[in-house]
Structure 1
Amino acid sequence: MRLYVPWIMILIGGFCFLFLTLAGPDFPVTAGAGAASSNESTANPLDITLNPTSLDLGSVGHGQKDLLSFELINNSSLPMEITNIRPSCGCMKMTTSTRFSIEPGQKQEIRFSLSLGRGWGNFSKKIDIYGAENRWLLSLPVKALFHPGVRTDAMELVFTTSKREDMPTAKTRLVFSASGGRTSPVLTDLMSSDSRISFQLPQRDDETGQTTLSVQAASNWPTGRFSAQITGLCNGLPFIVPVRGQAFGLLVHKPHSWNLRQIQVSGFSAETLSLKRADGLPFKILDMRLEWTREIEGLDISLSNTPQKDGSVLIKAFAAEPIPRINKGFFGNVIITTNIKEESRVSIPLMGVVSPQRKGQR
């Protein structure tokens, strides 16, 4: 019996040691200097604030330009290094240095210019502040509200005109709508940047909360693309409506520029070109050819045309095998010869991208 007593004592001692290890001490442990140092290293050593903490411009109109400023304040006990100040939008340009140092307890004024565009509704951007090692510190929100309570049914006006015939696409309208049961928007001080873009007096309808502006493009634009703008005040705030279009002679094509988009496999492109006379009379295409301004070696595109019942002609593009194994854009012009004496030749821009399918891609 004596032989087993030491082994029993050893086992009992081992179980006690294991219990104390798992249970842990029943009194708190105070962190030493090493632990305190570790905690401090994870804290942010920079203490920086903004004055003001955000910029709210309130109700604004289109094209407004402002010179604005804010302050960076160093509340820490150490010098603060600023390595970059970066706006989130090209409408904001910094006019002071974006790299400097601020002494403890000091502040630095930051100035920038703001050029507002022509949106409708909320404007929300920011300016990011970066410190040492290009680490983000904080952001200054910049907010505004374009034409509060008003929306338009289009951001721009697009026209198609012809020198030979009046076209329905030479007229359009823009509807200004008030939200929240408000009265129809009031449009004043209306102006056109070009006399060939004209408009009628706005028509207000308080029952629907809408104001309609009817606009027309004249037929005497030179053949090709044109642009202009209509400006004025909407409920006292400036607004800008861009105008663009395509002026044709007797022959009208749609789209204005023929974009074949992606060519991945051989075959006919889903994007087609329609050509018709402005007066609706039938005509014939005598010849079609491609003139490349940026060609892709090995790309073979042919053209075909089919007369339609409405007097127009539908033109298709066919990409032949093999499709070049390259990702690249191409540009050119479709030169069309017709039997119309007054306008026997027309040139239409062509573009697209070769993007061959990868193996296993459908």
Structure 2
Amino acid sequence: MIVAGLISTPGVANADQFRNGQWIYGSIEREFVRFLNPDNSSRIGEPNTGELLAGSDQRGRWQAFGFDTNRIVWSPDVDQNRGRQVGGFILQKWLTYGNRPPSTQQPVVSSDERGRLGYPTTAEEQAIGGRYNNFQGGAITYQNGALSAYATWGDIRNQWAQSGYESGQYGFPSSNELRCAQQPGSNGTFGAAGQLFKNGTKYITSGVATSFGGNPSNRYEHAVDTNTMQLPMRGTTKYQTNLDSGVNQWNSVTAGKIAINQGAPANVSAMEVRDVNIPGGYVGQFNGFTRTLSFNDAYMASLSTQNRNHTAAHELGHALGLKHSCETQLMTPINSAVQIPNSLDRIVFNEIWAGF
């Protein structure tokens, strides 16, 4: 018997192929032959599984190649005749994206074709400086040299598309889609989405009524003396170590723009730092009208060092004029252990104070 794989012509689909001890059939085989070299070697590796069921309804099929560095995935809802290849960092990202909407806090229950992105609708294609696959629910894009690929979908993807995708003002995506505060005063809830892009100074938001960045007229009340460009403080707190951590973190961001100073004399208009004990109240709070920064001993005392540092740095962010923003950032509206201003925190700070 002649083994089909040995007489396969690159780019020409045969009924079946037998390679590396596995059969490659039908629609998956039709995609596989597109990746054969003239010497009949495969650019996506040899099959290391048989054809397996795909999809929650098991109507689809998939097969792994190159020790699962590539997959060919087929769905009758995408193309009756040919599967689609997904590989590398794009495959890795696709296998981790679940179907939890970004506006909820429900756990991820599935990924791959069962997740939010669904089945691939293209094989991996060339982007300007990278690669991408389109999927039923969006796309995953990879920039050459990056350590991860990232997905875009929905309104954020539409805005990115209108700007010219990776060749436009935003460049490649540089974060997963983030759950964000719907309103700047949101406390403990997310109702919108945001995403960072490679430009380094750009982000796109979706469903946000009031941006968490913007110009100075769109910021929170702050404690900055705009004449001296300082944030002076006085008062005492038992959480001084945590406050010092926050001051050091923000001074590394605001250097050259705003100096945060402690020990302001009585004749200087300054933000008062104090401790309170209010069971059932907040953990930490900056009040822009009274220019006070309060730590609530009813809760602060039982927090970890990381959470105390977060509270101090987060409230200092409000004192600098920043609103609540997104998960993974210091200005998240959800209590967290993030202790340092991250990418979006820095972008928003620079937006607020760009004109000073």
TM over 0.5: no
TM-score range, shorter chain: under 0.3
TM-score using structure 1 length: 0.22
Select the structure that is richer in strand: 1
Q: What TM-score, normalized by structure 2, do the two folds share?
A: 0.22
More helix by share: 2
